[in-house]
Structure 1
Amino acid sequence: MTQELQEVQTTAGASFGEVFDASVPVSFGNDAIALKAAKDGAALYDRSHWGKICLWGDDRTRFLHNQSTNDFNSLKPGQTCETVFLTSTARTLDLATAYILDDAIWLLVSPNRTQKLIEWFDRYLFPMDKVDVEEIAETTNTFSLIGEKSHTILANLGITLELEENTHQLVQLADVEVRLATGNGLATAGYTLFCPAEDAAKVWQQIADAGAVPLGETAWEQLRIGQGRPLPDAELTEDYNPLEAGLWQTISFEKGCYIGQETIARLNTYQGVKTQLWGIRLAAPEKPGAIVLVGEEKVGQLTSVVETDDGAIGLAYIRTKAGGAGLEVKVEETVGKVVDVPFLTRGYLD
């Protein structure tokens, strides 16, 4: 984060804390207002601490096609997709969003995954591969608009183009060229904007002045868990595959071989998903890692939890045979109910 951006956000009421070794706005002192804006207005979330990786070279598309779950060969410049990087046994490394440019592909990855993915790519790059990998987080800032009126904020900024779903385009924001993309990392209306780091403070201020409500990391965590977006080291670990994690929408079942493909294909063909990620509402918060019970039977494990004004909400892996939405459970000694969350998809299990 640039000093200028931090000063602008401090003026807006931000308090800062360390999140994944980065100083980020934890709260703007307005969490309840920001969460309401994210639902029926427009909230502005700084994602600059998320990882950003750029792949250059003639073989970049082929390489990512072979490295992850989505079909990169079918994508054209100006399109985006979500994709998952897997181990050879289909365990999840990260959920990423890819942006196809004319001469490169950008990956927006989880805040704690940049270095691991770059090292992972290096394992599979050979001297003859025409692929260069570069971290671009220091030179590019990322902001997301979240909420049903995000388009109104863009209109207030003079941006009136209609982007199709899963696309991005360069736009002019005052005197700054910004890359605008549909989507914001959640299953809700909004956009993501990329701008040069030297212009980040100016862009942030213009978006806020146009009516977007600043939203900090504390509120984002409530949104993430309430929506069901899985996070590395919590829901995305080497204990689970992307089918179990509810990331069916990121997987092409028609494409050819990629790392982890055999396991994914087998699980899909033989309907072998034995556990699933669900939302869970709790009477009181419990710690991640707590056991989920039906009666005295262990049926799952809590992975994330956060307190809200309406009680505690969490995410948990639940055995498929135990049931799904509506299931009454106990988490340690706390009663809870399994609920649907909008970010997750279930393929043949729906």
Structure 2
Amino acid sequence: MTTDLETLQKAAGATFESEDGDRPVPDSFGNDGEAIAAARNGVALCDRRHWGRLQLSGDDKLRFLHNQSTNDFQRLQPGRGCETVFVTSTARTIDLVSAYVTETAVLLLVSPNRRQKMLQWLDRYIFPADKVELSDLTETTGMFSLIGPEADRLLKQWDIAAPQTDGSHAIVAIDGTEVRLCRGSGVGLPGYTLICEGDRSASLWQSLTEAGAVPMGDRAWERLRVEQGRPASDRELTDDYNPLEAGLWQTISFDKGCYIGQETIARLNTYKGVKQQLWGVRLDRRVEPETPVTVGEDKVGKLTSCTVGDTGAFGLAYIRTKAGGEGLSVRVGEAQGEIVAVPFLTRGYPTQTSGDAAE
């Protein structure tokens, strides 16, 4: 499966400069600018087979996930899904996960560098009395993102009535390949996530690119991720931050009852105790992540990601709430910057747009 898919991708100009474990994906097709433009104005196709695909089955699967993560699983029916965050007992982030409920199981899409940790974390909390079975489908399935406003038009070539509600999903057929088509591209732009049997990955890739989808490498995906503001594990999602600080309010249910980390999250929300928040930052030059963000002589935050696009450098940074938010002028190393809002992130209560640096 992998060889056939990689052969097709290399024929289209793919280079495999970076690897993630034993599941390398194209770093670039030599068309990063074209792929970004397609994702924003047309339709692009990105190989995400290196992301983890875990499955929970058994009668207690929804109750189990309801108690283990931030979103409300008890309300979900087959064909629906949500984004949720797994956190520690002190509400520190482990991973941002997309979950899809089927008739018999729940499929979890986890970050590439969190697959083993999530397997171990979930297994740790499955007790003998629980009717829950955990399995790893990563090696036997393929996964792609179809990104852009023209995704629906492309899918209509196969008479597909695509899911239109965020998180919804359905089984469809594309040139004879059975695909789970999930609403949402993964980067906050219009589109879909497609999951198929591994031995059908090459056929699905070929069908979609022949229909007009522009191949996108992981380097362009990373640029989109930063520009859209999707936080990533080991960057914005670490033991240093909680989901409220990370701008993931849309993944949290505040009235569903107890779950791991719930007390801390509820207290932060009730007492407006979010001391730092994730923002976009427009920069006049590229800066290395981990560089401090300052206002005058005061350190007010830290850069976590940075990319360079057609309009210049852009990053993500945690900024102290008391220092301000959108519109704040900052310095990041040798670069001048301005704090800006990004589409992927949400906030639960108003934040300052200017002010003095936090003490």
Q: State whether TM-score is above 0.5.
A: yes
Q: Any idea what SS the aligned residue of 1:6 has? A: helix
What residue in structure 2 maps to residue 6 of structure 1?
6
1:142 aligns with 2:146: no
Q: Distance in 2 between matches of 1:17 and 1:134?
A: 30
Q: Which position in structure 2 is the counterpart of 1:78?
A: 79
For residue 47 of structure 1, what is the amino acid of its counterpart?
A: R
Q: For structure 1, which segment, 84-93 or 278-287, has the greater mean C-alpha deviation from structure 2 after superposition?
A: 278-287
Cα drift, residue 161 of structure 1:
4.3
Mapped partners of 1:138, 1:84: distance in 2: 23
Residues 1-350 of structure 1 aligned to structure 2 (within 5 Å):
2-21=2-21, 22-161=23-162, 163-349=164-350
CA deviations over 1:65-115 (Å, ceiling 9, x no partner): 000000000000000100000000000000000000110000001111011
1:127 CA drift (Å):
1.1
CA contact (8 A) 1:157 1:207 kept: no
Residue deviations 1:123-178, cap 9 Å, x none? 21111111111110111101111111110110123324453332100011121111
- What's the CA shift for 1:20? 2.9
Specify the SS of the correspondent of 2:25.
Answer: strand
Q: Which runs of 5+ in 2 are unaligned?
A: 352-359
Distance 1:183 1:134 in 2: 24
Bigger drift between 330-339 and 16-25 goes to 16-25
| TM-score normalised according to structure 1 size | 0.98
Q: Secondary structure at the match of 1:73?
A: coil
The answer to whether the Cα contact below 8 Å between 2:163 and 2:169 also exists between their aligned partners in 1 is no
Q: Distance in 2 between matches of 1:213 and 1:157?
A: 18
In the TM superposition, residue 333 of structure 1 has moved relative to its aligned partner by 1.9
Question: What is the alpha-carbon distance in structure 2 between the residues aligned to residue 349 and residue 147 of structure 1?
Answer: 30
* Number of matched pairs: 350
Separation in structure 2 between the aligned mates of residue 301 and residue 252 of structure 1, nearest angstrom: 28
Secondary structure of 2:226's counterpart equals helix
SS at match of 1:153: helix
TM-score by length of 2: 0.95
CA drift of 1:267 comes to: 0.5
User: Contact conserved, 2:279 with 2:319, CA < 8 A, in 1?
Assistant: yes
State the Cα RMSD in Å: 1.1
- Cα drift, residue 306 of structure 1: 1.1
Q: Which moved more, 1:119-128 or 1:296-305?
A: 119-128
Q: Contact 2:163 / 2:182 at 8 angstroms: preserved in 1? A: no
Q: Is contact 1:41–1:148 with CA below 8 Å preserved after alignment?
A: yes
Q: Which residue of the partner structure matches residue 357 of structure 2?
A: none
Tell me how far apart the structure 2 counterparts of residues 162 and 228 of structure 1 sit (CA, whole Å). Answer: 24
Residues in 2 aligned to 1:314 and 1:179: alpha-carbon distance in whole angstroms:
33
Question: Cα offset for 1:121?
Answer: 1.2
Structure 1 contact 60–105 (Cα < 8 Å) conserved: yes
Show structure 1 runs of 5+ residues with no match. none
- Deviation per CA, 1:41-78: give whole Å up to 9, x if none: 00101111101100111111111000000000000000
SS at match of 1:17: coil
State the one-letter code of the partner of 1:217.
D
Q: Distance in 2 between matches of 1:201 and 1:161?
A: 22
Q: Is the 8 A contact 2:163 2:183 kept in 1?
A: no
Once residues 111 and 137 of structure 1 are traced to their aligned partners in structure 2, the CA distance between those partners, rounded to angstroms, is 10
Aligned mates of 2:333, 2:31 — CA distance in 1 = 32
Find the residue that maps to 1:300 and give its secondary structure.
strand
